[in-house]
């Protein structure tokens, strides 16, 4: 594998917790790989399972989903829906023979800059170890 | 009326000051927020987590801080003090002294270069000395205002005339060494004091070795250690050897409940603080062994006892009832605690680290403030408030909130702040606010149907972005993207001149979408939205790419990759912006009338506050008489008679022309939403049904005395409840014969299975009644059977007084409850034999009691459940109403326009109920004082042709904002209720729902813009 290989990890971050946590990681100058490509959503529950699949099929090497800790949701119960949906998406990935390790759900609060950086680093390493998303290559005959 | 000012000055910008400022500003009042330090926020930013939810302190506070900073009605004066007040309430003349900042706040962009280069290190007060800062600094990372200030006593140039390095470093040219202190004159209608509290300094407690032994720290220092953004990054280590502590001790009441040092009061928050820290520390260090050394655990607030239980049972925290004598460091570097158990035996135990749970004390500055403002302080230096008027100072028109008039936790501070606002508005010339008027000189451009014409502005942010990312390259790249008509790199996108540039470019290039690649939308999106709106674009036609906080700052060593990522982020922003549509914020009209449910102390207080502010109030009471539980209270700790107070209150309420009292009323149904509620009252027993229209609801349904047969209650007229006993005392109607022994049993029904909460007021109530009894029957022996005495705050001194009177306190545990037997079963007024196991003497104590008084719990009324359903608001596990946020929204429900106060929220005393009732009124006024409010634009929409009416969305929505129309069988969004989270959109099986501003199409185009698919042709 090429050393300079930088995977792409589409990261859906809820505005109230994880996105703020990611900002705090930056403000604290905690370093993590550029693989993390953030997309702000109002609530992690806005993330339709289709988003995850679509991002994946469009070639993202990994998909990260960040929400408030259970019980802390700004919209009261949104992250509970996220949690349930995510469990199903994992199963769907497995049933389709896709690599379920390429998707990850993390609870990152607005104060957890260090956790955001840690998750970003860990997940990027996992993805690098797995290599490029095989779905990325569309093959024509 | 016209001579009154519609402005308020608030001293202190901690959570109380911030809450008061926001409430007032929402009512359209001009606010001057005067703060001594360089930032607003107060104590909360220093805290890592908050009890009993372990919520992150900064996360819940920072939105309120930025709201404060952005609100046009709030003017923040940092580094300022109130010097002088003259004139009368309604029209005070105030002088404030604003100290020099030496940095121009308009030019400073808070890049931090100056602090990097400044050669002078000083102690960081925010991190309580655990870290250093520079002479030019930002108070803490998220401080507001963000601008830097110079400490003039430490700056080399200002003290010695040499250096000027910051001036050379600052690319924005913001340093101004010529800055001067200045006096500002203000005219305001009322003043609210929220100057806060100080932690006790244990330096004088030599026996605990603070400062002598590096591993003895204060609870505030420990809090900073636990904080992820603190000096140790959340990794707790011993200062002595840099290793994680394995054994940790907390010593309670350091600087509280101590007559010897003139602190004969309880600091109220430290027990919970220590429990919280022991839980959090355990989460940081897995096999940590924590012990809390205490006298009584005072977990008296809502859901506090459950938290205490959790610490003990789930986290294995050891609670040791004892008195710590001293701490000595052993030659091995351990800290040896010598402590005395209840029984009087002395024990020794070694720890790695000791946390002193320091108390809260009045700020020294109170003294000067009291002289300058002519207000009275109490014996401990706190601002003095009288009973029945908990938020007033001794000067008319000057109010107090937060911990300045007594130790408080966060929600109590928030409650008192809103409450003080309700008091202050009486001296203001409140005017009902219309909708914020759009500037009509700038008509909004109609962009619907137009091809997107996007302008992209890429910010250097000094070198914050440009130091890492090739900004020019990014801007050029943006120019190659479809629909981008204009692209430009700018030095500081948020600077006033650049904002003007953006407006000019919109004009020149006829732009209809704007993308700014800069810092974070969390802080700057509102500013840019406002800017494009000034140029005639709908504010929702704006998108931001975060290339600083989430790119340049996070990838400082990878400039090339960071540039590539910035391009991606800009491309995604452009992709999303193509789909942006102008959104409308629909006005929701507010009916200025209020419904208050419950005619007890809280309900009447709320009703009166609202009516005094000029609003029609319907006050409904289920019984035929007003007064609620207050009808049973006859004594207070001082001479003021609660019944006289109640009589006055009922008179005021009944005679008020804006209040309609509806007694014996029962609610049939409540429907509607914020601003537009309809409540129908049941007809019956000679009453006609009524239909009431109102804009808001305040729930003040109170609490009930717990009904029980425990301890043979009801079996003898000599076994009574505290409520019955108080009436007995009042009517001097004691049981026949001598009253030799009286036994008071505490926690009857409270703090046990099924009612795992403290009823909060019973300890103080029992102490109060015991003291009253002593007044009339000085020879009577009083015995207390108790679990923990919870006379928090200033009630502590009455407990001390009672102890000094010779009252015997016998502690029992739930496993060894007192046993009550009738001495003569054949009579109805039998004396009772009470047996209590006394851990001090280590044996049973048997008392033949002439009277047994039971402190029965406070229960939530069963009817709460019915009302909760009608209002669509939640109850907690104990059947009490559950507020929107335990800490910061203690009187609001998540449902807008519905508020709560008094015992309906949780047990509390008279003054606390009053403060909360006023707070509920004040929160209600923030809506009632507007003709309409705007709903958020980014809300859910239904494509009815696709909807199958399955009603799945209905079950998902936490706000009951989407419902299936029973006739048309399609989902309908109530735009007033929808908060725009998108949970329903992601769950819709038919794809019939979408979220405006975050549509599915927009989201797809965002990740499609990064099409990474590699197409390979195989074969030929």
Residue B35 has pLDDT above 60, yes or no: yes
Distance from CA of B1013 to the nearest CA of A (A): 5
Cβ–Cβ contact B1012 with A under 8 A: yes
B1010/A59 Cβ within 8 A = yes
Question: Considering all CA atoms of chain B, what is the largest pairwise distance in Å, rounded to the nearest integer?
Answer: 114
**B554 and A26: CB-CB below 8 Å?**
yes
In whole angstroms, give the CA distance from residue A87 to residue A110: 24
CB-based contact B56 A109, cutoff 8 Å: yes
The reply to whether residue B56 touches residue A110, judged by beta carbons under 8 angstroms, is yes
DSSP state of B644: H
Q: Could you report the per-residue pLDDT of B768-797, keeping only the tens digit for each?
A: 999 999 999 999 999 999 999 999 999 999
Structural contact between residues B320 and B339, judged by C-beta atoms closer than 8 angstroms: yes
The mean pLDDT value for B432-451 works out to: 81
Sheet holding B30-34, edge to edge: B74-77, B30-34, B7-11, B190-193, B398-400
In angstroms, the CA B569 to CA B552 distance is 12
pLDDT of residue A4: 62
Give the closest residue to B109 by CA, choosing from B503, B462, B600.
B462
* pLDDT (0 to 100) of residue B161: 94
Q: pLDDT tens digits, chain A, 141 residues: what are they?
A: 344 678 999 999 998 889 988 988 887 788 999 999 999 999 999 999 999 999 998 889 999 999 988 877 878 789 999 999 999 999 999 998 899 999 999 999 877 888 999 999 999 999 999 998 988 876 655
Flag if A30 and B1008 touch (Cβ within 8 Å).
no
Proportion of chain A in helix, strand, coil states, percent, rounded to 5: 45, 20, 35
Cβ of A20 within 8 Å of Cβ of B1019? The answer is no
Residue B968 to residue B632: CA distance in whole angstroms: 54
Q: Report the candidate in B211, B246, B231 with the shortest Cα–Cα distance to residue B130.
A: B231
Distances (CA, A) of A120 to B188, B556, B568, B901, B1008: 51, 15, 18, 44, 22
User: What fold is seen in the domain B936-1008?
Assistant: Alpha-Beta Plaits (3.30.70)
pLDDT score recorded for residue A60: 92
Selecting from B233, B521, B998 the residue whose C-beta is nearest the C-beta of A46 gives B998
pLDDT in tens, B898-917: 999 999 999 999 999 999 99
Q: What's B454-578's CATH class?
A: alpha beta
Polymer length in residues for chain A:
141
| CATH placement of domain B589-703+860-930 | 3.50.50.60
- Domain B1-99+181-196+363-431 class in CATH: alpha beta
pLDDT at A2: 43
Mean pLDDT taken over chain B: 93
A75 and B983 within 8 Å at the Cβ level: the answer is yes
Cβ-contact B144, B65 below 8 angstroms: yes
**Confidence band of B572 (pLDDT split at 50, 70, 90):** very high
Determine whether B206 is exposed, middle or buried from the number of CB atoms within 10 Å of its CB (0-12, 13-18, 19+). Answer: exposed
In angstroms, what separates the C-alpha of B337 from chain A's closest C-alpha? 35
Q: Considering only alpha carbons, which residue of chain B is nearest residue A20? A: B522
Chain B residues with CB-CB distance to A62 below 8 A: none
Distances (CA, A) of B670 to A75, A101, B270, B960: 24, 49, 42, 14
Residue B59 has its nearest CB partner, among A49, A111, A114, at A111
Which residues from A are below 8 Å from B520, CB to CB?
Answer: 23
Query: What is the pLDDT at residue A1?
Result: 38
Instruction: Tell me the shortest Cα–Cα distance from B734 to chain A, in angstroms.
Output: 52
pLDDT tens digits, B362-399: 999 999 999 999 999 999 999 999 999 999 999 999 99
Residue B344 tokens, joined = 């009087």
Confirm if B521 and A40 have CB atoms less than 8 A apart: yes
CA angle B102, B107, B113 (to 5 degrees): 75
pLDDT higher than 60, residue B1: no
The 10 Å CB-count burial string (b at 16+, else e) for B840-871 is eeeeebebebbbbbbbbbbbbbeebeebbeeb
How much of chain B exceeds pLDDT 90, in percent? 81
Largest CA distance in chain A: 51
Domain segments of chain B as ranges: 1-99+181-196+363-431, 100-179, 199-361, 454-578, 589-703+860-930, 705-859, 936-1008
What local confidence, expressed as pLDDT, does residue B451 receive? 95
Render pLDDT for B817-833 as a digit per residue (tens, 0 to 9).
999 999 999 999 999 99
> Do B705-859 and B100-179 have the same topology in CATH?
no
C-alpha B239/C-alpha B223 separation (Å) is: 15
Please tell me the distance in Å from B469's CA to the nearest CA on chain A. Answer: 12
Q: Which of B229, B998, B1019 sits opposite A28 (nearest CB)?
A: B229
**pLDDT tens readout for residues B133-163:** 999 999 987 788 888 999 999 999 999 999 9
Chain-chain contact of A114 with B555 (C-beta, under 8 angstroms): no
Interface A-B: count of C-beta contacts within 8 A? 183
> Who contacts B876 (Cβ-Cβ below 8 Å, separation ≥6)?
B302, B303, B882
Residue B438 has pLDDT above 70, yes or no: no
Separation of alpha carbons B742 and B770, rounded Å: 9
What CATH number has the domain spanning A9-136?
Answer: 3.40.50
Two structure tokens written together for A116? 């955001």
Residue ranges of alpha helices (H) inside B237-303 are: 270-284
- Among the listed residues B534, B527, B589, B613, the one whose alpha carbon sits nearest the alpha carbon of residue B28: B613
The CATH classification of domain B100-179, taken from the options 1.10.3470, 3.30.870, 1.20.1250, 3.30.70: 3.30.70
The average pLDDT across B702-730 equals 96
Distance between CA atoms of residues B444 and B933, nearest Å: 20
Contact B894 A22 (CB under 8 A): no
Structure tokens at B605: 């207080």
Q: Please tell me the CATH superfamily of domain B705-859, with its number.
A: FAD/NAD(P)-binding domain (3.50.50.60)
Q: What residues contact B124, with CB distance under 8 A and at least 6 apart?
A: B130, B131, B132, B133, B231
CATH class of B199-361: alpha beta
- Asked whether the beta carbons of residue A113 and residue B979 sit closer than 8 angstroms, the reply is no
Pick left, alpha or beta for residue B108 (phi over 0 → left; psi -120 to 50 → alpha; otherwise beta). beta
Domain ranges of chain A: 9-136
pLDDT digit string, tens, across residues B509-563: 999 999 999 988 887 888 899 889 989 999 999 999 999 999 999 999 999 999 9
A117 touches A32 (CB < 8 A): yes
Q: Which position has the higher pLDDT, B585 or B56?
A: B585
Chain A residue numbers with beta carbons less than 8 Å from the beta carbon of B938 are 42
Nearest-neighbour CA in chain B from A130: distance (Å): 17
Residue B471 has pLDDT above 60, yes or no: yes
Which candidate in A14, A31, A75, A83 is best for mutational testing of the B interface (most B CBs within 10 A)?
A75
Contacts for B500-507 with beta carbons within 8 Å, 24 or more apart?
B502/B455, B502/B457, B502/B528, B502/B531, B502/B532, B502/B535, B503/B531, B503/B532, B503/B534, B503/B535, B505/B455, B505/B457, B506/B455, B506/B532, B506/B535, B506/B536, B506/B537, B507/B535
Chain A residues inside the 8 Å CB shell of B228? 111-115
B412 confidence band (pLDDT: 50, 70, 90) = very high
Q: Do B555 and A34 touch (CB under 8 A)?
A: yes
For residue A77, what pLDDT is reported? 87
CB B192 within 8 A of CB B20: yes
């Amino acid at each position: 594998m090429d050393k300079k290989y930088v995977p792409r990890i589409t990261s859906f971050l809820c505005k109230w917790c994880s996105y703020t946590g990611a900002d705090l990681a930056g403000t604290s100058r905690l370093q993590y790989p550029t693989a993390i490509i953030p997309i702000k959503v109002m609530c992690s529950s806005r993330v339709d399972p289709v988003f995850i699949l679509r991002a994946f099929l469009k070639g993202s090497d990994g998909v990260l989903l960040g929400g408030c800790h259970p019980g802390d949701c700004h919209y009261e119960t949104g992250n509970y829906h996220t949690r349930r949906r995510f469990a199903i998406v994992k199963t769907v990935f497995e049933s389709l023979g896709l690599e379920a390790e390429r998707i990850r759900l993390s609870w990152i609060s607005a104060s957890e800059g260090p956790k955001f950086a840690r998750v970003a680093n860990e997940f990027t390493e996992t993805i690098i170890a797995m290599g490029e998303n095989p779905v990325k290559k569309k093959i024509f005959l | 009326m016209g001579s009154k000012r519609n402005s308020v000055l608030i001293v202190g910008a901690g959570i109380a000051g911030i809450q008061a400022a926001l409430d007032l500003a929402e009512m359209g009042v001009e606010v001057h927020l005067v703060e001594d330090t360089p930032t607003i926020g107060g104590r909360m930013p220093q805290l890592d987590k908050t009890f009993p939810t372990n919520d992150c302190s900064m996360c819940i506070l920072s939105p309120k801080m930025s709201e404060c900073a952005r609100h046009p009605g709030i003017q923040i004066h940092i580094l300022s003090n109130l010097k002088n007040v003259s004139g009368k309430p309604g029209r005070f003349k105030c002088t404030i002294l604003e100290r020099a900042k030496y940095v121009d706040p308009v030019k400073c962009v808070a890049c931090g270069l100056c602090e990097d280069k400044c050669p002078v290190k000083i102690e960081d007060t925010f991190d309580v000395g655990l870290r250093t800062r520079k002479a030019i600094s930002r108070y803490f990372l998220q401080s507001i205002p963000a601008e830097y200030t110079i400490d003039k006593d430490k700056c080399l140039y200002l003290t010695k005339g040499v250096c000027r390095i910051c001036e050379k470093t600052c690319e924005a040219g913001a340093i101004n060494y010529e800055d001067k202190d200045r006096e500002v004159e203000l005219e305001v209608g009322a003043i609210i004091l929220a100057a806060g509290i100080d932690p006790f300094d244990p330096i004088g407690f030599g026996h605990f070795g603070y400062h002598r032994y590096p591993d003895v720290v204060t609870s505030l220092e420990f809090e900073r250690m636990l904080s992820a953004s603190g000096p140790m990054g959340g990794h707790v280590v011993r200062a002595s050897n840099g290793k994680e502590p394995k054994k940790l001790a907390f010593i309670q009441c350091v600087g509280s409940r101590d007559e010897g040092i003139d602190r004969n009061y309880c600091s109220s928050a430290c027990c919970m603080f220590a429990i919280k820290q022991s839980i959090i520390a355990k989460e940081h260090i897995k096999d940590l062994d924590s012990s809390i050394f205490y006298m009584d655990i005072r977990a008296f607030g809502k859901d506090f006892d459950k938290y205490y239980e959790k610490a003990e049972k789930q986290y294995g925290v050891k609670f040791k009832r004892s008195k710590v004598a001293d701490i000595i460091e052993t030659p091995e570097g351990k800290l040896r605690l010598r402590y005395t158990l209840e029984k009087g035996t002395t024990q020794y135990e070694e720890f790695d680290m000791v946390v002193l749970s320091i108390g809260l004390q009045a700020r020294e500055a109170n003294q000067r403030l009291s002289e300058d403002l002519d207000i009275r302080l109490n014996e401990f230096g706190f601002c003095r408030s009288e009973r029945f008027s908990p938020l007033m100072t001794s000067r008319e028109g000057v109010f107090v909130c937060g911990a300045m008039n007594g130790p408080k936790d966060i929600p109590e501070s928030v409650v008192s702040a809103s409450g003080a606002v309700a008091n202050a508005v009486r001296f203001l010339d409140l005017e009902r606010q219309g909708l914020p008027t759009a500037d009509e000189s700038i008509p909004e451009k109609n962009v619907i149907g137009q091809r997107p014409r996007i302008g992209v502005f890429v910010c250097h942010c000094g070198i914050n972005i440009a130091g890492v990312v090739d900004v020019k390259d990014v801007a050029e790249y943006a120019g190659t993207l479809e629909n981008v008509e204009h692209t430009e790199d700018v030095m500081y996108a948020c600077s006033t001149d650049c904002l003007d540039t953006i407006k000019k470019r919109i004009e020149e290039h006829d732009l209809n979408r704007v993308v700014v690649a800069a810092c974070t939308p969390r802080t700057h999106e509102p500013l840019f939205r406002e800017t494009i709106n000034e140029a005639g674009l709908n504010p929702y036609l704006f998108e931001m790419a975060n290339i600083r906080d989430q790119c340049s700052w996070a990838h400082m060593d990878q400039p090339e990759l960071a540039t590539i990522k910035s391009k991606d982020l800009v491309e995604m922003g452009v992709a999303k912006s193509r789909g942006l549509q102008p959104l409308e914020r629909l006005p929701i009209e507010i009916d200025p009338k209020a419904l208050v449910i419950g005619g007890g102390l809280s309900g009447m207080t709320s009703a009166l506050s609202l009516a005094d502010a000029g609003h029609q109030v319907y006050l409904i009471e289920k019984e035929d008489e007003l007064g609620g539980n207050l009808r049973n209270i006859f004594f207070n700790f001082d001479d003021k008679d609660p019944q006289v107070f109640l009589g006055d209150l009922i008179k005021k309420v009944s005679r008020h022309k804006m209040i309609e009292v509806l007694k014996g009323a029962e609610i049939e149904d409540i429907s509607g939403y914020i601003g537009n509620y309809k409540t129908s009252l049941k007809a019956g027993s000679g009453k006609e049904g009524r239909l009431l229209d109102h804009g808001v609801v305040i729930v003040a349904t109170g609490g009930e005395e717990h009904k029980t047969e425990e301890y043979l209650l009801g079996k003898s007229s000599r076994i009574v409840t505290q409520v019955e006993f108080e009436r007995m005392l009042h009517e001097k109607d004691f049981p026949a014969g001598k009253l030799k022994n009286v036994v008071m049993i505490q926690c009857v029904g409270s703090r046990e299975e099924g009612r795992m909460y403290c009823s909060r007021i019973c300890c103080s109530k029992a102490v109060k009644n015991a003291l009253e009894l002593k007044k009339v029957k000085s020879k009577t022996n009083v015995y207390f059977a108790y679990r923990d005495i919870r006379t928090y705050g200033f009630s502590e001194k009455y407990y001390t007084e009672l102890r000094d009177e010779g009252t015997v306190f016998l502690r029992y545990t739930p496993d060894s409850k007192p046993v009550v037997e009738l001495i003569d079963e054949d009579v109805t007024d039998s004396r009772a034999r009470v047996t209590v196991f006394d851990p001090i003497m280590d044996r049973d104590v048997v008392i033949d009691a002439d009277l047994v008084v039971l402190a029965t719990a406070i229960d939530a009324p069963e009817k709460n459940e019915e009302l909760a359903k009608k209002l669509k608001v939640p109850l907690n596990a104990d059947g009490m109403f559950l507020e929107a946020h335990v800490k910061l929204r203690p009187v609001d429900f998540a449902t807008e326009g519905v508020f709560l106060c008094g015992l309906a929220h949780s047990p509390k005393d008279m003054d606390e109920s009053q403060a909360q009732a006023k707070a509920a009124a004040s929160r209600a006024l923030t809506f009632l004082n507007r003709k309409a409010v705007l709903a958020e634009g980014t809300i859910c929409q239904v494509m009815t042709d696709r909807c199958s009416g399955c009603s799945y969305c209905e079950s998902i929505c936490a706000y009951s904002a989407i419902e299936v129309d029973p006739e048309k069988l399609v989902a309908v969004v109530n735009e007033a209720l929808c908060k725009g989270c998108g949970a329903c959109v992601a769950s819709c099986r038919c794809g019939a729902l979408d979220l405006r501003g975050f549509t599915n199409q927009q989201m797809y185009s965002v990740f499609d813009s990064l099409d990474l698919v590699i197409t390979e042709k195989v074969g030929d």
